Copies of this chain bind each other. A is one copy, B any other.
Amino acid sequence: MVIVGGGFGGLWATRALAGRAVRITLIDRRNHHLFQPLLYQVATAGLSAPDIAAPLRHILRNQRNVEVRLGEVVGLDKQARAVTLADGDAIAYDYLLIASGATHAYFGHDEWSADAPGLKTLDDALAIRRRLLLAFERAEACDDPAERAAWLSFAVVGGGPTGVELAGTLAEIARHTLKREFRNIDPSHAKVRLLEAGPRVLSSFPESLSEKAKQQLERLGVEVVAGTPVGAIDERGYTLGDIFVPARTVLWAAGVAASPLGALLDAPRDRAGRVAVSPDLSVPGHPEIFVAGDLASVQQDGKPVPGVAPAAKQMGAHVATAIAARLAGNPAPAFRYRDYGNLATIGRMAAVVDVHGFRLSGLIAWWFWLAAHVFFLIGFRNRIIVLINWAWAYWSYQRHARIIFGPLDR
């Protein structure tokens, strides 16, 4: 079979098929599995890229029924049952799993992408890190007060978990990490704004926790602006209502769209481009094709299954079960999402946790979040290194990965 995508969905399906009489080709555009929940830490220089990524080949080296192929899928022939790669190779399948995830969406404003980069890949994270660090450098070298203020004005668009993490950490960097390092500016005067079009941040959480999150953000120095959508973004700033706000650094955490590979399937898709799958996660009319993770649109008890890592892992494992059932001549069971709760981190020792109505916030929620995330990090080495990096960062307020690559222009 062919599995497209080595994220949580694809990798968990691959592993669950270990020892089965299936020959798997796992195709990914990247050579690594990425622990996406910690990607914001790379973007904010707390972790280095290899801390949260591991080569797919390495993870799967002992699983003899898997061949890993670095490549980009550009075509699908459902009649011939083959996918085509960008280098022209065609790879045949009997079963196919597409788990290529999601990308960011600008809701019809793709022209904003250059001035408000989003965060989905390691390349995105390094580009954001570069932008954040250069903004303080530009402010330090700048003589004009208005221009300097614009370099010290940051905005994060979108009050979901990623936006909250980015804004909280950014405020921490400005207030603590960079302390004493500059001579012409005071980084703690930087303005960090979190812009949410809806009425509250973390809208997937109960209202009480949204309110806690807002309070914790404000304590960290973030100004939360909810209820007004951003009207425009360019390299000098953004518009909110009628007001233009100068800001040289705007980050995008507002929209998610399914991977464009969903369009190859010719199946019904929802507004975000996700494929409406059958209860067993196969594509209607194509029992040999499955979709898992952020690309799959699954309804359960009248609510959509959320686009989070645990859901992707569960879907991946389910596809393995479904294929095993089919191979044994049995019908594939229906997928059922088990919700273990909802966590979001906000910044230094601040988080919110909602586990079936059991609600935490603040320091204890942050410890809960930390334990869960470090525990789930792929690979033994990474966990230790990440823990040491974190311990060091929290003890010293330092962020070790503050390295700017590449030429000096943005």
Residues of A whose CB lies within 8 Å of any CB of B are 29-32, 48-51, 53-55, 57-58, 61-62, 67-72, 86-87, 89, 122-123, 126, 133-134, 137, 140-141, 178-184, 381-382, 384-385, 388-389, 392, 396, 398, 400-406, 408
Contact = CB atoms under 8 A, between A and B. Distances in A.
A147 to B, nearest CB: 12
A380 B51 CA distance: 19
A59 to B, nearest CB: 10
30 contacts: A31-B403, A32-B402, A48-B48, A48-B49, A48-B50, A48-B51, A49-B401, A49-B403, A49-B405, A50-B400, A50-B401, A50-B403, A55-B403, A57-B181, A58-B181, A58-B402, A61-B179, A70-B141, A70-B404, A71-B141, A72-B408, A87-B141, A122-B405, A123-B405, A381-B392, A381-B396, A381-B400, A382-B400, A384-B388, A385-B389
B30 A404 contact: yes
A67 B385 contact: no
Given A61-B181, A141-B69, A141-B89, A31 B382 contact: no
A62 to B, nearest CB: 7
Contacts of A408: 29, 70-72, 86
Contacts of A180: 61-62
A70 B403 contact: no
What is the oligomeric copy number?
Answer: 2
A116 B71 CA distance: 25
A385 B382 contact: no
A398 B58 CA distance: 9
Given A69-B140, A123-B406, 4 more contacts: A48-B50, A48-B51, A67-B184, A70-B140
A384 B389 CA distance: 10
Nearest to A401: B50
Contacts of A405: 49, 122-123, 126
A134 B55 CA distance: 12
A361 B69 CA distance: 41
Contact of A403 (B29, B53, B87): B53
Contacts of A51: 48
Contacts of A385: 385, 388-389, 400
Nearest to A404: B31
Contacts of A71: 141, 408
A406 B403 CA distance: 17
Contacts of A184: 67
A25 B183 CA distance: 11
Contacts of A403: 31-32, 49-50, 53, 55, 122
A180 B68 CA distance: 12
Contacts of A384: 388
A392 to B, nearest CB: 5
